Amino acid sequence: MAGHDRITGETRVSNNNRKLRSQQWYGKHDRDGFIHRSWMKSQGLPDHAFDGRPIIGICNTWSEITPCNAHLRDIAEHVKKGVWEAGGVPLEFPAMSLGETQMRPTAMLFRNLLSMDVEESIRANPLDGVVLLGGCDKTTPGQVMGAASVDLPTTVISSGPMLSGKYRGQDIGSGTDVWKFSEQVRAGTMSLPEFLNAEGCMSRSPGTCMTMGTASTMASLMEAMGMALPLNASIPAVDARRKVLAHLTGMRMVEMVHEDLTISKVLTRKAFENAIKVNAAIGGSTNAVVHLLAIAGRLGVELDLEDFDRLGREVPLLVNLMPSGQYLMEDFHYNGGLPVVLQRLQDQLHLDAPSITGKHIGEALDQVECFNDDVIRPMDNPVRPAAGIAVLKGNLCPKGAIIKPSAASEGLLKHRGQAVVFETIEDFKARIDDPNLEVDENSILVLKGCGPKGYPGMPEVGNMPLPPKVLEKGVTDMVRLSDARMSGTAFGTVVLHISPEANEGGPLALVENGDWIEMDVEARRLHLDISDEELARRQQAWEAPESPHKRGYYRLYIDHVMQADEGADLDFLKGSSGHVVTRESH
C-alpha cells in the first residue's frame, strides 16, 4: 500500500503491496483521514505511524479486580516493544475484565458479554491484527470468541500461572486445596485459624490458578491449537521469560498481518480435534467443553459433545497436576511444559495443523526434552490410562451431561443410588448441614436451577460440599448431579452440564426425593429409574419458573443463551460478521 510520509516526502509500501485494513482510516487525505490521524497524534505518534504499517491492537483484560490478570499492563509494554521492533504500531485498549473469584453471580454470565465487547472493539477500530491478553478463566474464551467473529490475524498471550502455593512446608494448589481444606473444616479435622492462614500462602503472586484449572487448561489449549507461541501456557506469570514471550509475540504479530494469517486459518477442525486430545492428556477442565464448543460456533467449525467423548476416550492422562494428580504449573514448566505433551501424543495429533508461527504444531517437536517423567509421564506410564471427558446420555440428560473420570472416584463410576433433591442453591445451602437430612454416602445429591438460564450464568457449584454426617464417617466423595459447571480446580464424582437444564424443563427438573438413579460411566449412561408414563405425567405437571430478571443484560442473556451442549453462547452470536465496516464516523 502507499502511505505518504509528510515529513520525509517518501512514499512507503508495505511488504506485500497489500493495502492493510487500517489504511481505510489512516490512508485518506480528506477530512475523515484528518480526523482519524489528528486525534491519535495527541498521544505523540509521528506521521510515519500512519504510513501503511500494521496497526496492532493489544486487547487487555487487565484489572485490579481480576487479580489473575493484574500484571498484564506490564506484559503489554513488552508486546509493544516487539511490535515497534518489527515495524508495526501497537495500540493497547481495554476489554471488560472477568475476575473468576470476585464476580457475582458468576463470571460465566459475562463471558458472552466480554466476547461482544471484544468483537465490536476490534471491528470498529482501525486494526490490522490483535493480540489478546487474558488468563483468568472466562477472559481467554470470551476474547477468542469475540476475535473469531471478526477474523483478523490474532494471537493469545496468557497471564501465566501464579507461583506455587506454599503452606507449612507443603505445596498447595489454587482452588484444589480450598475445596479440600473447607471439607476438612466441615469434618472437624482443620481449625478455622489454620484455614484462614492458608489464604495468604495460597496466592503469592499475580497470575492465574497454578493447578490445571480452567485458566491453565485454556492457556494450554491455546498453545496446542497454535494460537500462542510455545510455552505460553506454563511460563510463570512473574518469570522474565513471559516478557520475552510477549516481545516475540508482538514481533510475530506484525509478520502475521503481512501474511494475512487470520484466526480462522489457525482454528480449523484439526486444531479443535487436537485440543480435545490434549485436554484429556493434561487432565484439563470440564469447562473447556463449553468454551471450545462456543469458539467453534463462532468459526463455523462443526463440533459437538460426542466429539469430546469419541476423540478423548483412549487418551491417557500424562500431566500429573492437581486436581487429577499431584504437581503444580511451575513443575510443569520447569520440566518441559506443553511441548512435551505434544511430543508424547504426536501419534494421535494432527501435526500439520497450522500455528501462528507460520509453521505447523508438529514443527520441532523432536527437539523437545522432558526433565522429569513423573511430572509429565511417558505414554507407557500414564497417571491414568484413559482420561478423556465422558459424555453421558439417558432419560435424565437427553442432550447430554459430562463427567471427568480422572477427577472422580473409581468405585463410584458405576453407581445406583437414591436422589436427595435440592430445588435451588439456596435450598441446598439451607439444608445440607441439617443433621436430620436423610442422606448417606450411597445417596446421589441432585441440584437443580443452576444451568445457564437458571442461576443465571451456569455457575461453578456442581461440586457440592458433602453433608457433615457423611464427612464425619471419613467419606470424601459422593455422586453429585446438576446442570451447573464446576471449577476446573475441583474434583469428585460430579456429573455436570446436564442438558436441557432444569429451568428449561429438562428431565432434571422432574427428579423427586427418593427416586432411584443409575449411573454407569463405562456405558455412558445416566438413567432416572421411573417409568416413561410417570416421567410424562411429571412433565405435564411442570411449570416453568418465572425469572426475576426483567431487564438489562441478564434479560438478554436468559432470552438468548443456548444450552451447555451448544457451548452456552448467545444464539445470535454464532458465526462471524467479518471485519468490514463501510460507513465513516463523521
List contacts with Mg ion (CB under 5 A).
100, 137, 214, 487
Residue 101 touches which of Mg ion, ligand FES, none (Cβ within 5-8 Å per kind): ligand FES
Q: Does 100 bind ligand FES (CB under 6 A)?
A: yes
Question: What is the nearest approach in angstroms of ligand FES to the Cβ of residue 284?
Answer: 14
Pick one of 56, 202, 215, 276: the residue that binds ligand FES (CB under 6 A): 215
Question: What is the nearest approach in angstroms of ligand FES to the Cβ of residue 472?
Answer: 30
Question: What is the nearest approach in angstroms of ligand FES to the Cβ of residue 108?
Answer: 12
Residue 23 touches which of ligand FES, Mg ion, none (Cβ within 5-8 Å per kind): none
Q: Which is nearer to Mg ion, 100 or 309 (CB)?
A: 100
The answer to whether the CB of 298 falls within 8 A of the CB of 381 is no
Question: What is the nearest approach in angstroms of ligand FES to the Cβ of residue 566?
Answer: 25
* Cα 513 to Cα 171, 421, 423, 435, 439, distances in angstroms: 41, 5, 10, 17, 10
The answer to whether the CB of 237 falls within 8 A of the CB of 332 is no
Can you tell me the distance from the alpha carbon of 84 to that of 71, in angstroms, rounded to the nearest whole number?
Answer: 21
Can you tell me the distance from the alpha carbon of 219 to that of 221, in angstroms, rounded to the nearest whole number?
Answer: 5
Residue 482 touches which of ligand FES, Mg ion, none (Cβ within 5-8 Å per kind): none
Q: Which is nearer to ligand FES, 136 or 322 (CB)?
A: 136
Q: Which is nearer to Mg ion, 217 or 406 (CB)?
A: 217
Pick one of 55, 56, 209, 266: the residue that binds ligand FES (CB under 6 A): 209
Pick one of 15, 24, 101, 424: the residue that binds ligand FES (CB under 6 A): 101
| Triad 308, 311, 317: Cα angle to 5° | 90
Q: Which residues contact 504 (CB under 8 A, 6 or more apart)?
A: 451, 453, 563
Residue 158 touches which of ligand FES, Mg ion, none (Cβ within 5-8 Å per kind): none
What is the secondary structure of 279-317 as a DSSP string? HHHHT--THHHHHHHHHHHHHT----HHHHHHHHTT--B
In the chain, the amino acid numbered 467 is: P
Q: Which is nearer to ligand FES, 496 or 502 (CB)?
A: 496
Can you tell me the distance from the alpha carbon of 132 to that of 154, in angstroms, rounded to the nearest whole number?
Answer: 7
150-158, 207-215, 252-260, 269-277 -> range binding ligand FES (CB under 6 A): 207-215
In the chain, the amino acid numbered 363 is: E
Residue 232 touches which of Mg ion, ligand FES, none (Cβ within 5-8 Å per kind): none
C-alpha cell at 373: 517423567
Q: Which is nearer to ligand FES, 151 or 460 (CB)?
A: 460
Pick one of 119, 128, 137, 504: the residue that binds ligand FES (CB under 6 A): 137
544 burial type by CB count under 10 A (0-12 exposed, 13-18 middle, 19+ buried): exposed
Q: Does 136 bind ligand FES (CB under 6 A)?
A: yes
Question: What is the nearest approach in angstroms of ligand FES to the Cβ of residue 231?
Answer: 18
Residue 49 touches which of ligand FES, Mg ion, none (Cβ within 5-8 Å per kind): none
49-57, 70-78, 209-217, 410-418 -> range binding ligand FES (CB under 6 A): 209-217
In the chain, the amino acid numbered 358 is: G
Residue 279 touches which of Mg ion, ligand FES, none (Cβ within 5-8 Å per kind): none
Q: Does 144 bind ligand FES (CB under 6 A)?
A: no
Q: Which residues contact 28 (CB under 8 A, 6 or more apart)?
A: 36
Q: Does 213 bind ligand FES (CB under 6 A)?
A: yes
Q: How many residues bind ligand FES (CB under 6 A)?
A: 10
* Mode of pairing for the β-strands spanning 397-403 and 414-422: unpaired
Residue 217 touches which of ligand FES, Mg ion, none (Cβ within 5-8 Å per kind): none
DSSP lists the bridge partners of residue 156 as: 132
Residues 57-76 close enough to bind ligand FES by CB under 6 A: 68
Residues 159-178 close enough to bind ligand FES by CB under 6 A: 174
Can you tell me the distance from the alpha carbon of 54 to that of 358, in angstroms, rounded to the nearest whole number?
Answer: 17
Question: What is the nearest approach in angstroms of Mg ion to the Cβ of residue 378?
Answer: 30
Q: Which residues contact 518 (CB under 8 A, 6 or more apart)?
A: 415, 416, 525, 526, 527, 529
Residue 228 touches which of ligand FES, Mg ion, none (Cβ within 5-8 Å per kind): none
To the nearest 10 degrees (0 to 180), the angle between helices 176-187 and 192-202 is: 170
Q: Between the CA atoms of 139, 227, 116 and 288, what dihedral angle is there, to the nearest 10 degrees?
A: -50
Q: Which of 524, 501, 398 has its CA nearest to residue 446?
A: 501
**Interface residues with ligand FES (CB under 6 A)?**
68, 100-101, 136-137, 174, 208-209, 213, 215
